[in-house]
Amino acid sequence: MLEKYKDDYVEFYTIMNNAIKEDKISHAYMFELDEAIDIDTFIKDMCKILMIRNKKENEYLNTLIDSGNYPNIKIIKADSLWIKKEQILEIQNDFRKESFDNNLKIYVIEDASKLNKSSANTLLKFLEEPEDNIVAILLTKNKYSVIKTILSRCINISLKKKTYLELDKEDISYKFVEIIEKYQKRSLPYLYQLVSDNDLERKDFLVVLEQVQRIYSDLLHNSNSFDSKYNYFKNGALDSLDYEKDQDKIIKKIEAINESSNYLNYNVNIKTVIDKIIADVYGGE
């Protein structure tokens, strides 16, 4: 089961393979998923990987997991916009009951970015006091949209094929980052012009913002490992970033862009979204 991820998702394969070989399964994992990954299939694969591990293939267990009727697996999805505190409490109560086959109990949170303050605090208590044979699997498309206290309690593994560090310099999203870093709180007219010059509509601008978040996320991940392949990020505009010392600033930008991009779903115009990003990042400086 794990082998199918070996070629495309090396980091995931390596970490999970070593954990299984050494029998050191963590109590909580945060997986940042590539758009190409089918979430339902990934959940079933992960449950099989963790529950079967070094044992021989178990067709009966596979059938139970595939059917969605295995009582040791609980999946939490957002109720409307948010994952609610009551959904976390329900899992905790269910898992206090004895397992019918002494196997692991796994709970999956499909979109961890939809944990609000109340549900995150409830989950945090669960993560801080892990019980034997209970494993949490949290899924997200962007780990920096998840509350930081939750991230810090999990093993974080990326299953992202594409890195936006490899984007061409002329890419709009790269230019967006370049403008922010070069002009900072004076960026607004230049960002407006970028949008105008490229005739960006709302849906296009949302894609650009998603890529901008990936650029900053990649800068964060690669802060200690730049080589010649990434030199254009260390020339000119981005020279002002100290990738080690400025991690909090980079995270602040990711969070501001993520929060502001949500406004695009409420008919807020693009210029107002740009205003909010710059105000949230630089307004207090």
What is the CATH code for 2-159? 3.40.50.300
Give a three-class secondary structure readout of the chain: CHHHHCCCCHHHHHHHHHHHHCCCCCCEEEEEECCCCCHHHHHHHHHHHHHHCCCCCCHHHHHHHHHCCCCCEEEECCECCEECHHHHHHHHHHHCCCCCCCCCEEEEECCHHHECHHHHHHHHHHHHCCCCCEEEEEEECCHHHCCHHHHCCCEEEEECCCCHHHCCCCCHHHHHHHHHHHHHHHCHHHHHHHHHHCCCCHHHHHHHHHHHHHHHHHHHHCCCCCCHHHHHHHCHHHHHCCCCCCHHHHHHHHHHHHHHHHHHHHCCCHHHHHHHHHHHHHCCC
pLDDT higher than threshold 80 for residue 2: yes
Q: What is the per-residue pLDDT across 153-192, written as a single tens digit (0 to 9) for each?
A: 899 888 876 554 555 555 788 889 889 988 889 999 999 9
Task: Provide the pLDDT for residue 55.
Answer: 61
The band of 271, judged by pLDDT with boundaries at 50, 70 and 90, is very high
pLDDT higher than threshold 90 for residue 38: yes
Question: Which range, 17-31, 46-60, 210-224, is most confident?
Answer: 17-31
Q: What is the per-residue pLDDT across 227-266, written as a single tens digit (0 to 9) for each?
A: 333 444 545 555 555 555 677 888 888 888 888 887 887 7
Domain ranges of the chain: 2-159, 164-282
pLDDT higher than threshold 80 for residue 100: no
Task: Provide the pLDDT for residue 250.
Answer: 83
Task: Provide the pLDDT for residue 175.
Answer: 86
Task: Provide the pLDDT for residue 225.
Answer: 39
pLDDT higher than threshold 50 for residue 224: no
**Buried-exposed string 140-157: b where 16+ CB fall within 10 A, e elsewhere:** bbbbbbbbeebeebbebb
Task: Provide the pLDDT for residue 171.
Answer: 77
